């Protein structure tokens, strides 16, 4: 059975949450972010580049450069981050990987998965990064 979204998307959400609790306009470089999130710098940098490409994050090059949110945390939905990194495949494909799984020719768990997938998609589409501000601050403090 496949996971709902990738490790990249998971780290992307963490990076956006981290940037959301920084002072507005404050830039953090990939090294700082990777240390805070306890993830390899190259992996973090690659994800931040994707998020920049999709307009969620902005970047500035150079010695005083870094990354910051490009839009307000109240406007960033969790699904936006997942789509920018993983696309929508997890919400379209068979959870068991059958290529011919559909309403007419369902896999053994098709009906249950469609219902669950729809509920997950609703939650990811409703919740914004701002909804998790306080929990993020507590979690980051606990990592230190």
Instruction: Convert the pLDDT of each residue in 11-51 to its tens digit.
Output: 999 999 999 999 988 999 999 999 999 999 999 999 999 99
Q: How far apart are CA 82 and CA 132, in angstroms?
A: 16
Q: How far apart are CA 12 and CA 48, in angstroms?
A: 7
**What is residue 144's predicted lDDT score, i.e. its pLDDT?**
65
**What is residue 133's predicted lDDT score, i.e. its pLDDT?**
87
**What is residue 89's predicted lDDT score, i.e. its pLDDT?**
81
Strands (DSSP E) contained in 46-133 are 57-60, 66-69
**What is residue 138's predicted lDDT score, i.e. its pLDDT?**
85
CB of 26 closer than 8 Å to CB of 142: no
Q: pTM, whole model, 2 decimals?
A: 0.86
The structural architecture, per CATH, of the domain 7-85+128-143 is Orthogonal Bundle (1.10)
Residues of the chain with pLDDT under 50: 1-2
**What is residue 136's predicted lDDT score, i.e. its pLDDT?**
86
**What is residue 70's predicted lDDT score, i.e. its pLDDT?**
96
């Amino acid at each position: 059975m496949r996971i709902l979204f990738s490790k990249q998307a998971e780290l992307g959400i963490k990076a956006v949450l981290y940037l959301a609790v920084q002072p507005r306009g404050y830039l953090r470089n990939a090294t700082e972010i990777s240390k805070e999130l306890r993830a390899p710098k190259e992996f973090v940098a690659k994800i931040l580049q994707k998020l920049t490409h999709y307009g969620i994050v902005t970047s500035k090059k150079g010695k005083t450069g870094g990354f910051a949110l490009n839009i307000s945390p109240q406007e960033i939905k969790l699904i936006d981050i997942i789509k920018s990194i993983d696309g929508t495949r997890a919400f379209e494909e068979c959870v068991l990987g059958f290529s011919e799984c559909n309403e007419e020719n369902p896999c053994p768990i098709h009906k249950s998965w469609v219902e669950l997938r729809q509920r997950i998609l609703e939650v990811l589409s409703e919740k914004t990064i701002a909804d998790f501000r306080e929990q993020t601050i507590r979690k980051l403090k606990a990592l230190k």
